[in-house]
Structure 1
């Protein structure tokens, strides 16, 4: 009875809509007023101590192991938990989990490879053909498909730099290379990409040779901290600072400043919490080891301390929510293939990850921000108004 009392207290206040809860003893209850569209099924009891110690880790593992089943939308359920003022999701243990993390070059390489070197074939199953694994940019709202939105995001980033043909660009954390190679082919820039992922490195290297871009493009399998004293006219970095760790954020922005030529321009795009930095225990253990989402104030502090100036900031929260919803839809269309290749536990884990992130963006728990930075007086080599960013 103690367990039931705890669960009832936890779940009855956690959602702004009615839910059905079916317990391990075969009995069910409805919490909230109205007809529920979502059912939580507990196939086993989850120890109270595990939940109170860290709800995200305990419940995430329980879902992976089928101790919990969800009938209905996982995203809606998690979004509801974020929306409810009394939800267990708003506890400090869930929102402010701060693991002891190492971000040495050796550990950073292991962390990056544990996520990105799952295999290019896995990511091809549910990303768009550009293999872009970051927030898309939906210029026409519901009309754009994911591939167009990803291409538009890349061009939106490059347009913000106001690039001049023949100048140089460094892409820190270049992914599978679409941004850097677009910059070379369509904007006439000489580009360098840096990644710690062997899978990404091999694919980008192949693209460079297949498209005969050796004279204008290179990719390095290297830690961005080891690039020496070379400088570039422009720097881009998309979805990168989330990997460097709280203790290395200052050094990350200092390195951006170091690698940028005088009066150079950088566009840094990454997930940011407007409410302050945080990590999530379940994501840290199973998805992004070493991950840390910086707070907005935290990033601005490090940017200013590095000697860079902020020229523009743009929030793209709704764009990332939609991107994740499309990814998860693509993922579930390939669910049987993924499950056969990677196993049921892995498949449930990734589905939970994609839907939980979509819910987190939907609720405003996290945001994604593009920081346009200059080394020198803000806007010195940029047009007077923001119209140029939109091709006007």
Structure 2
């Protein structure tokens, strides 16, 4: 049996109990730390978990051949996450990760047609699914928690104010291009709260329909426009450029094109803000389960991979901020809201999709807690003197009452 010796070496922190297909239970670790257990329904599942845990763990949970044992799913995953982060490397997974890194440019080659298919895979799911676990404004990105005790709605509103402050929306009527507009919440907030005129781009037909309906319902269609358009098609300069949680879908081979597009889309005195998931410990490969089932073509980059493309574009990186555990808290909220609406989501789709999202939300939360994932926000400008020389203006903008 391959799995037993691997777990004996891997689990050094906390305790993992495994019930094997013959009914035998074995306990690994035993020291301080998280505790969890799992049941494997057949020996094929045990072999798959031993040989390729990065892909098999999620698939086995989705098909019901791996189940938590006397604990929750997130407790099982946390035992693995903590031990892999500490010691951690699984010999076969390491080899597969090296192969994935070698073929990363091919996996992340995202021309316009492939980008549309990748986006449709996740974002063209029924919007009612996302309404069940997102905040009321449908912000599908990291919230901003000043204390950690805020409601999800309050933290997402704080994120919008934080970003607006960095965009230097110091007068009404500024034109903002939003690359990757989601369901329209950020664009509508900038128009409603700061008097901006916003053009939001998306590759998702489902998101486009929802965003346009929201703009019409709020009476903002004259100030907010949404288009089904790839960012590479944009040709006109604007005052501000914003991209929130879209850069992860750009792909490493296209970083230079992305930032030259941002540069060309900015007026000489323009300001841009890019918000993306990243990784603190250098370049890696996307988890294979996440790439297959959730975000095909997606990758969360290290800043060391991003800054060379910014430098070559000629843009100034005028501010960089790292948000560390904010996304872990955001995902914690999403995971609990998903659980509370599980029956309704199952009726909308099926058990397999419920299990897929449960594994996705739990594993991503733990990636931000234990595996070096974070969020970076990068403010960009064409000129060194475009934005004030200290950050005082950001805090002042966040604390100011919204324009009438």
Give the structure-1-normalised TM-score: 0.92
Tell me how far 1:83 sits from its aligned partner: 2.8
- Paired residues of 1:10 and 1:87 also in contact (CA < 8 A): no
The match for 1:62 is 60
- Paired residues of 2:45 and 2:65 also in contact (CA < 8 A): no
Runs of 4+ in 1 over 6 A off after TM superposition: none
Output the CA distance in 1 between the equivalents of 2:51 and 2:3: 15
In structure 2, the CA distance between the partners of 1:53 and 1:255, relative to structure 1 (3 Å rule), is farther
Output the CA distance in 2 between the equivalents of 1:253 and 1:277: 21
The match for 1:24 is 21
The match for 1:282 is 289
The CA RMSD over aligned residues, in Å, is 2.0
Tell me how far 1:52 sits from its aligned partner: 6.4
Matches within 5 A, 1:25-174: 25-33=22-30, 37-46=35-44, 50-51=48-49, 54-71=52-69, 72=71, 73-88=75-90, 91-94=94-97, 97-98=100-101, 100-101=106-107, 102-142=109-149, 144-163=150-169, 164-174=171-181
The match for 1:354 is 361
- Paired residues of 1:193 and 1:218 also in contact (CA < 8 A): yes
Tell me how far 1:122 sits from its aligned partner: 0.5
In structure 2, the CA distance between the partners of 1:376 and 1:122, relative to structure 1 (3 Å rule), is same
Matches within 5 A, 1:187-198: 187-198=194-205
Output the CA distance in 2 between the equivalents of 1:32 and 1:78: 11
Q: Secondary structure at the match of 1:25?
A: coil
Tell me how far 1:141 sits from its aligned partner: 2.1
In structure 2, the CA distance between the partners of 1:204 and 1:185, relative to structure 1 (3 Å rule), is same
The match for 1:265 among 249, 271, 279 is 271
- Paired residues of 1:53 and 1:93 also in contact (CA < 8 A): no
In structure 2, the CA distance between the partners of 1:336 and 1:214, relative to structure 1 (3 Å rule), is closer
- Paired residues of 2:85 and 2:371 also in contact (CA < 8 A): no
Runs (5+) with no aligned partner, structure 2 = 400-404
The match for 2:10 is 14
Write the deviation string for residues 120-178 of structure 1: whole angstroms up to 9, x where unpaired.
Answer: 10000111101000000012322x10001001101100111211322211110011111
- Paired residues of 2:15 and 2:79 also in contact (CA < 8 A): no
In structure 2, the CA distance between the partners of 1:271 and 1:9, relative to structure 1 (3 Å rule), is same
Tell me how far 1:384 sits from its aligned partner: 2.8
In structure 2, the CA distance between the partners of 1:154 and 1:123, relative to structure 1 (3 Å rule), is same
- Paired residues of 2:212 and 2:221 also in contact (CA < 8 A): no
Matches within 5 A, 1:311-322: 311-322=318-329
Q: Secondary structure at the match of 1:179?
A: helix
In structure 2, the CA distance between the partners of 1:92 and 1:153, relative to structure 1 (3 Å rule), is farther
Runs (5+) with no aligned partner, structure 1 = none
The match for 1:310 is 317
In structure 2, the CA distance between the partners of 1:51 and 1:68, relative to structure 1 (3 Å rule), is closer
Output the CA distance in 2 between the equivalents of 1:241 and 1:253: 10
The match for 1:233 is 239
- Paired residues of 1:184 and 1:191 also in contact (CA < 8 A): yes
Q: Secondary structure at the match of 2:43?
A: coil
Q: Secondary structure at the match of 1:176?
A: coil
Matched, 1:180 2:187: yes
Tell me how far 1:51 sits from its aligned partner: 4.9
In structure 2, the CA distance between the partners of 1:75 and 1:157, relative to structure 1 (3 Å rule), is farther
Q: Matched residue pairs, number?
A: 384
Matched, 1:384 2:389: yes
